[in-house]
Structure 1
Amino acid sequence: MAHSGTEAPELAGLPLLGSLLDLKKDSLDTFLRARREHGDVVRITAGPPGVRATMYGVFSAAGAQQVLAGDSANFRKDNAFYQEVRESFGNGLLTSQDEDYLRQRRLVQPLFTRRRVDGYAAAVAAEVATLADEWRDAGTEPVDVLEDMARLALRAVARILFGTDVDAAVEIVATAFPEVGAYVLRRGYSPLNVPRDWPTPGNRRAAAVHRALYEVCDRIIAERRGSGAAAPGDGQDLLTLLVEAESAEDGSFDATELREQVLVFLLAGHETTATSLGFALHLLALHPEERKRAHEEVDRVLAGRTPGAADLDALPYVTQVLKEAMRLFPAAAVIGRRAVEATRIDGVDIPAGADVIVAPWVTHRHPDYWEDAERFDPDRFTPEAEAARPRYAWFPFGGGPRACIGQHFSMLESVIALAMLLQRYDLEAVDTVVPVAPAITLQAAGPARCRLTPRTA
C-alpha cells in the first residue's frame, strides 16, 4: 500500500529505547506487527538517544523488487551487519561489492551452470542414502529433522566442495559456524562494539574459532593447489574448479580469496538448504494429506530407484512442498541494505544513508498475496498460482543482480533429498511448534522431532 503522505510512519516504542527491546525479544514478530499496524514502509528506531539506530522496513513485493532489482545500485551492502559478516567470513560473493563482486561473479559463474550443478546429483544422493540408513538404525527413537538436515546439507556441500576431504572440514565447520554466527549477530545488532582486537573474553573465543576455521580451509586449499583432486560429478570438485578459475580479464583467485569463497559457499550452501529441507519434513509430518500426495508422487515417478537431476521436473508436488516450506520459513528471513541516495518506495521517502530492510518473513505472509498465510498449502506453487502473483511476493533466494548464485544447486539437493527420504520413511511430528529466530540465516530455537516408520515404495 502507498501512504497518503511522504514520511514513513514510525512503529511505536519506548521513549528512551524505541523498539530495541521488542527487536531483541522477537524481531520477526516486530516486523510483522510493523506492517500490520502501519503498512508497507515503516520507520523503526532502536536504542537510546545518541546511539539510536533507524531502519526502514519495506514489506511489499513491489518495494522488495525496487530494493533488490529495479533500483539495486542505490541499495548497497554497507550496513553494520554486513561489515561484521565481512570481517568474519571475508570478502567473498556474499559480501563483496562493486568491481570486486563483478570480478568474483564472472570467475565463479561457470562453476554454477545447470549442467555442472546437475553433475553433483549422485554425490548428494550418496550422502542422503547414508543418512537414511542411519535413520533405520535409530529404531523407534524420534529424530530431530532440523538437526539431521543441517548435518546432511553440510556433508553434501563439503563433499562437493572438497571432494575426499569431507570429514576434516565438517568437524571444524559444524563446531565453528554456530559460534562465529552468534558473534557476528551480537556485534551486528549492537549499537556499540569494542574493536575486535581488544582482548575481551568474547573476542578471544571468537579469534580462536576463526583461526581453527581458517586453518582447515587453508590447509585443504594448499594441498589442492599442489595436487588437484578426484571428486564427485564430472571428476572435479568445486575447490579444484575455484583453484583453476582464471580469465584474461579477471586473473585468478589468490589463496586468501579462495578461502573467502570457500567460507561463503560453506555458509550459504548448507544453512539455507538445511532450513528448507528440515522444515519441509516438519511440515509434512504435521499434515498427513499433503504427505500422502508427496509419497504417491515419489512412488509413481521413481518406482524405488534413486532420483537424479533429470527427475526434478517430474516431481512437481515435492518441489511445491519445498517452495511452501521456504515461504513459511525462509532461510534469509531479513535482508539488509543501505540507501546511497534519497529515494521513494511505495510513495514514502527514504533518506540518503538510511538502513533499509526487506523481509521475506513478512512479505511471504502479506495478505495481499497470500490468503490464510500461516496455513501450509503446497498448491500455492502450482504454475498457475505462481503466475498470478507479483514476482517478489516470494523471494527466498533474494533477487536482482545479487540473487543467490547457488539456487539451482539448493533446489537440486533439496528435491533429491526429500524424495529419497520420503521413499524410505513415513513421518509423524512429535514437536508441533518450532520457535525460530534470525541469525545470519534463520535458526530454530528448539527441536523438530519426528517419529519414523520405514516404508516400501
Structure 2
Amino acid sequence: MATSGNGIPGPAGLPLLGSMFDLKNDSLGTFLRAQREHGDVVRITAGPPGIRATVYGIFSAEGAQQVLATDSANFRKDNHFYQEIRESFGNGLLTSQDEDYLRQRRLVQPLFTKRRVDGYAEAVAAEVARVVESWRDAPDGTVDVLAEMTGLALRAVARVLFGTDVDAAVEIVERCFPVINDYVLRRGFSPLNAPRDWPTPGNRRAAAAQGELFAVCDRIIAERGAAGRGGTDLLSLLAEAESDGDRGFDAGELREQVLIFLLAGHETTATSLGFALHLLALHPEVRERAHEEVDRVLGGRVPTAADLDALPYLTRVLKEAMRLFPAAPAIGRRAVVATEIGGHTVPAGADVIVAPWVTHRHPRYWPDPERFDPDRFTPQAEAERPRYAWFPFGGGPRACIGQHFSMLESVIALAMLLQAYDLDAVDTDVPLSTGITLQPLGTARVRLKERGA
C-alpha cells in the first residue's frame, strides 16, 4: 500500500519552523540531503504553524518523468512562484496554461524548427566575435566568464528577437531584469506579501523596472508594425504567426512572449555557457581534447549550424556542464489530483518539486556524481540511463521550446572562444543560490592566453 501525505518521510527540521532556515539558506543542499537521507520521494515542511508550507520533492528519474511527462496533466503551474512570474513578466509561453498555452505553442512552434533555428547561427557567431575581440583588451588578461556569458547570451537573444534594435533593449534589460528577478524571488518564497499596488519601496522599484521593460518592448513592436510584413527577426515572425483556427498575437501578447523569451532565452544559456568555460578552465585535459576537436573540425573558420554534429566532444562538455550546473535547478508544480509516485501517494493540492540539481547527482545514474566527465554523454552511456536522469530543459509537453537554439548558441560560442583562447582558472569555487534560475554569488574568473600568439 502506498504511503501518503504525512507518512511520506522527510527531514524533521526545527520543532516550530521545520526546514525554513535550511531552505532559505541553501535550498539545493537541503533537497540533496533530503534525497540522500530519506529517498526519492520526500516531504519537507517550512514555516511556523498557521502559515506552514509543505513541499514534496520527487528526485528519481522515473518520478521526474511522471510529473513532467506521463502524468503531466496531474501537475500544473498553479503554484505561488509561477503566479509571481506571471504578474511580473506576463502570461507568455513559460507561464500560460490550458487553452492559452496550447494556442501559444501552436503559433510559436513553427518558429523553432531545427531549420529555422539553424538560420540564427550567423547572428550568434557575430555576437560571439564581439566577445572574442573585446577579450583582447581584458584588464590583466582576466575575465569573469559568468558575467561575460550573461552579456553574450542577452545580446544574442536580443539580436535574434529584434534584429538591429539591440543596444537600447539590452541596456534596459541588464538594468531592469535583476530588479524584477529579486522581487519575484522574494515574493515567490514568502508566505505573506503586501499587495502589489501598495506604495512600498520594493513595489515601486519593481513597477518602475517593469514599466521600462514594457515601454521598450512596446516601442519596438510598434515600429515593427509600422514597417509592415516581411521581417526576418523573431519578433516580426511572431507578429505574423498564424495557425489554423487561432488568431494571431495582439500587441500585448507579443510583449508577453518577447519578455518571456528574453528572460528564459538568456539566463539559462548564459548559465550553461559560463559554467562550461569555468569547468574547462579547471580541467586542462578536457580542454586539450576540446581544443583538438575544434581545431581539426573548423581549421580556424567560423562555425555554422552544419558543424554541430561534427563537434561531439564539445557537445558532451556542454551537456556535462548542464548536468552539474542546471540553469533550472528545481522545477515546481502543483498536484491537482492524488498521484502515486515511487510507492508514495502525493496528495491533491500539494506543491511538488522535481530537481535536476538532485537527479543529476543521483548515484543510481551517475557514479562519482560530482566529478566532471564529459564522456558520461557518449551515445552508449546515454542509452544506458533513464530518459529523465538528465533533464536541464524540463520535459514532456512543457519542455523548453528553445532548447535547440540554446544548444546551437552554446556550441558555436564555445567553439569560437576555444579557437581564440586558452583558459586557466583563477576562481576554483563559485558559491550559488537559486532565483528564477541558478544564480552565482561570486565570480568565475579565468586568465586568458591568446592561442597562436
- Give the TM-score normalised by structure 1: 0.97
Conserved 8 A contact 2:281-2:287: yes
Partner in structure 1 of residue 340 of structure 2: 344
Deviation at 1:385, TM superposition (A): 0.4
Conserved 8 A contact 2:77-2:333: yes
1:442 is aligned, of 434, 438, 442, to 438
Kindly indicate whether residue 309 of structure 2 is the aligned counterpart of residue 309 of structure 1.
Answer: no
Deviation at 1:138, TM superposition (A): 1.7
Conserved 8 A contact 2:280-2:287: yes
Kindly indicate whether residue 416 of structure 2 is the aligned counterpart of residue 420 of structure 1.
Answer: yes
Distance verdict in 2 for CA 1:264–1:199, change over 3 Å: same
Residues 356-367 of structure 1: matches in 2 within 5 Å? 356-367=352-363
Distance 1:136 1:164 in 2: 25
Distance 2:355 2:74 in 1: 18
Conserved 8 A contact 1:93-1:104: yes
Partner in structure 1 of residue 233 of structure 2: 237
Partner in structure 1 of residue 21 of structure 2: 21
Distance 1:111 1:258 in 2: 14
Identity %: 78
Conserved 8 A contact 2:162-2:235: yes
Conserved 8 A contact 2:431-2:442: yes
Give CA-to-partner distance per residue, 1:271-296, whole Å, 9 cap, x none: 11000000000000000000000000
Conserved 8 A contact 1:163-1:229: no
Conserved 8 A contact 2:141-2:449: no
Conserved 8 A contact 2:45-2:55: yes
Partner in structure 1 of residue 69 of structure 2: 69
Distance verdict in 2 for CA 1:11–1:247, change over 3 Å: same
Deviation at 1:343, TM superposition (A): 1.1
Partner in structure 1 of residue 117 of structure 2: 117
2:256 is aligned, of 260, 284, 291, to 260
Secondary structure of the 2:164 match is: coil
Partner in structure 2 of residue 272 of structure 1: 268
Partner in structure 1 of residue 314 of structure 2: 318
Conserved 8 A contact 1:331-1:396: yes
Deviation at 1:229, TM superposition (A): 8.0
Secondary structure of the 2:136 match is: helix
Conserved 8 A contact 2:229-2:240: no
Distance 1:4 1:333 in 2: 28
- Give the TM-score normalised by structure 2: 0.98
Secondary structure of the 2:319 match is: helix
Amino acid at match of 1:259: R
Secondary structure of the 1:362 match is: helix
Partner in structure 2 of residue 47 of structure 1: 47
Distance 2:229 2:411 in 1: 28
Conserved 8 A contact 1:423-1:456: no
Distance 2:137 2:184 in 1: 37
Conserved 8 A contact 1:301-1:315: yes
Q: State the superposition RMSD in angstroms.
A: 1.2
Kindly indicate whether residue 80 of structure 2 is the aligned counterpart of residue 84 of structure 1.
Answer: no
Conserved 8 A contact 2:329-2:357: yes
Deviation at 1:141, TM superposition (A): 3.1
Distance 2:386 2:352 in 1: 21
Deviation at 1:4, TM superposition (A): 7.7
Distance 1:247 1:354 in 2: 36
Partner in structure 2 of residue 126 of structure 1: 126
Partner in structure 2 of residue 411 of structure 1: 407
Give CA-to-partner distance per residue, 1:313-343, whole Å, 9 cap, x none: 0000000000000000000000000000111
Deviation at 1:10, TM superposition (A): 2.3
Distance 1:92 1:330 in 2: 22
Instruction: Work out the number of aligned pairs and report it.
Output: 451
Secondary structure of the 2:141 match is: coil
Deviation at 1:270, TM superposition (A): 0.5
Partner in structure 1 of residue 243 of structure 2: 247
Q: Structure 1: 5+ residue runs without aligned partners?
A: none
Distance 1:456 1:269 in 2: 33
Deviation at 1:456, TM superposition (A): 3.1
Kindly indicate whether residue 159 of structure 2 is the aligned counterpart of residue 159 of structure 1.
Answer: yes
Partner in structure 1 of residue 216 of structure 2: 216
Residues 270-309 of structure 1: matches in 2 within 5 Å? 270-309=266-305
Give CA-to-partner distance per residue, 1:327-386, whole Å, 9 cap, x none: 000000000000001111101111110000000000000000000000000000000000
Amino acid at match of 2:328: A
Partner in structure 2 of residue 147 of structure 1: 147
